Chain A
């Protein structure tokens, strides 16, 4: 018992959680609007898309890789699906959109997987390149423009409330769209996959020591290949959610999100060298970034300052956690010596 408590506090999650709570209380004191139903609902709904992207990035980082292509990948497949369904004047429900998007995402992710898994090329550079390619296909080949209307099924999915939260004082109410269910579903699938399948443990094993993973009988190449396919699928689903929620398709407004997503995941304690980090940490870190981005108004800070604060949170957050690991390592080297 004592041991597991100690272990918990050696990780990042409790600290991130603490920061989130403190920030929440600060906002509450300042505006009285933080712990209101509509604000919580707003925050959760703002977490959906970044949260799903973060889950994909989490996989890549755990395996010791990185992915900067997911915004372009998501934009491309979401655009292709929306355009296809519009052209066919498809009237059915959203399910088909998710299926096609997943297929496209799998194909695009397979390209990353092939280059990173089978050719063993540098993940950062590969995804940088495929990001350019995906963007080029979308804007060059498909000549993507903003689509102001979206298929009926997607529209319905984005406007149907899972539940509503309203603020008794201000009378403002917000709704949590059905897309939240997709996010929750992906979270659950990821948890089960990483915890209870040999494939999921293989991702951790590869991130910890690729040579040993190979020796232990994991098919390292295939695992990485499949993993990048999954990242592609998750990113594509997220892209569709975004379109549903925005009620329009804007080809470029997801681009550039990759860096904040990576920062969020790393803030949550996921290591860039691979193998280390938890799903909880990943979501908490992402939530922290979303929280900072969305709480400016409530804190009475003009929204123009939001980037400054996000930047500061990243700088301070990563500095503190880097400093912490440095000290833990030093203390640990002393400990092992005492034990020896």
Chain B
């Protein structure tokens, strides 16, 4: 009995989100069953959420440290634009890209991630700059570089085999982008739950000062964390590039807020120290289901999606507040 209640209390966020998902699915089956419950619709959803989903996964790690990464979108665009420049340089504007070359693109993304993440982490751990400002400045700077490289316009002339490769679904059921997302999610779950990194990360998020006195190498810990976040952002950038068939300095600009919303909704405390992958993944799925579901109603403006996200976030906060109050009363 004690075990059950402790499992529940550990997974309260996930449980709550699953409940909302269930209600929503029932509501959709009552109102828009035919349009919503179709294979193509689910395939579309599965192809779309990974791009911001993967960014949210990386951002989650930063938030567990008590920090935040506001440079994800800038990093994503920076990575995708550099990749396009590389592709056109190597293969020409309308050349043919061999599938194996995508490995090189991933390598580029990893290098960018290491660079951007190290600078972010350095500012936070060495100079003690508040993370919100360090990553904000970084985002501004990277976005600026993107504008300089593209002149601010969209670049859509590059070997399109890349987009085809990333937009297909294996066997017609498993979109490549989803596969990449799952792989990243698995890796992050593994380091967070199966290695000592997760414990150290949460301890650091609880008290950075005590972590230093406990001889945790905090500089290294933050470096790992921000680099992972930047790499995830870069991968998100690769997905956006495939999705839009083009790159631009201001693509996905609302993803900054959206990823933070997802992370918090997934039960990660902005004060640090607390957070699980399962919560964040559930939040990602929930948001996509909501968005896609609303889009099925022709009479409802798609902009209501933003409204509903906001309401869901505030509701989650209020539920938390109520939960804490009753917990205190007992």
CB neighbours of B257 from chain A (8 A): 68, 128, 131-132
Contact A129 B144 (CB under 8 A): no
The answer for the CA separation of A259 and B130 in the assembled complex, in Å, is 14
Take A115-B314, A259-B70, A305-B148 as given contacts and tell me if A129 and B136 are in contact as well, using a CB distance cutoff of 8 Å: no
Task: Give chain B nearest CB distance to A82 CB in angstroms.
Answer: 18
> Could you pull out 9 A-B pairs where Cβ atoms are within 8 angstroms?
A119-B317, A122-B270, A136-B305, A140-B300, A304-B147, A305-B148, A315-B137, A323-B127, A326-B127
Q: Is the CB–CB distance between B270 and A125 below 8 Å?
A: yes
Q: Kindly state whether residue B213 has any CB partner on chain A within 8 Å.
A: no
Q: Which residue of A lies closest to B249 (CB)?
A: A307
From residue A325, how far is it (CB to closest CB) to chain B in Å?
A: 8
A43 at the interface (CB under 8 A from B): no
User: B132 at interface (Cβ–Cβ under 8 A)?
Assistant: yes
Bound Cα distance A300, B302 (Å):
43
| Interface size, A (range) | 35 or more
Mark out the residues of chain B between 126 and 171 whose CB falls within 8 Å of any chain A CB in the assembled complex: 127-130, 132-134, 136-145, 147-148, 151-152
Of the residues B144, B148, B253, B317, contact of A115 by C-beta under 8 Å: B317
CB contact under 8 A between A256 and B253, given known A128-B260, A140-B307: yes
Chain B's closest residue to A135 (CB) is: B306
The smallest beta-carbon distance between A260 and chain B, in angstroms, is 7
Q: Are B303 and A139 in contact (CB under 8 A)?
A: yes
B301-330, CB < 8 A from A: 301-311, 313-314, 317-318, 321
A315 to B135 alpha-carbon distance, docked (Å): 9
Residues of A within 8 A of B271 (CB): 122
Q: With CB as the reference atom, state the residue of chain B lying closest to A271.
A: B130
Q: Report how far A312 CA is from B143 CA in the complex, Å.
A: 11
Whether A306 lies near B144 (C-beta < 8 A) is yes
Q: Which of B108-132 touch A at CB < 8 Å?
A: 123, 127-130, 132
The A interface is mostly helix, strand or loop, or mixed, namely helix
Shortest CB-to-CB span from B233 to chain A, Å, is 16
B76 interface hit (Cβ, 8 Å): no
Chain A residues, CB < 8 A from B260: 128
A315 to B128, CA, bound (A): 12
Complex Cα spacing A310 to B137, Å: 8
Q: Is the CB of B144 within 8 A of A310?
A: yes
Q: Is the C-beta of A143 less than 8 angstroms from some C-beta in chain B? A: yes
Question: Once bound together, how far apart are the Cα atoms of A323 and B126, in whole Å?
Answer: 9
Within 8 A of B (CB), among A302-340: 302, 304-312, 314-315, 318-319, 322-323, 325-326
Question: Who on chain A is nearest to B307 by CB?
Answer: A136
A19 close to B (CB within 8 Å) = no
- Asked if A122 contacts B313 (CB within 8 A), the reply is no
Nearest residue in B to A119 (C-beta to C-beta)?
B321
User: Which among A129, A137, A305, A325 is the interface contact of B314 at CB below 8 angstroms?
Assistant: A129
Query: Any chain A CB within 8 A of the CB of B281?
Result: no
State A315–B144 Cα separation when bound (angstroms): 13
A133 interface residue per 8 A CB criterion = yes
Query: A92-139: which have CB < 8 Å to B?
Result: 115, 119-122, 124-126, 128-139
Residues on the A chain within 8 Å of B308, using CB: 136
Check if B130 sits within 8 Å of A272, measured CB to CB. yes
Contact A132 B309 (CB under 8 A): yes
Report chain A residues within 8 Å CB of B301.
Answer: 139-141, 143
Chain B residues near A299 (CB-CB < 8 A) = none
**Least Cβ–Cβ distance between B153 and chain A, in angstroms:** 10
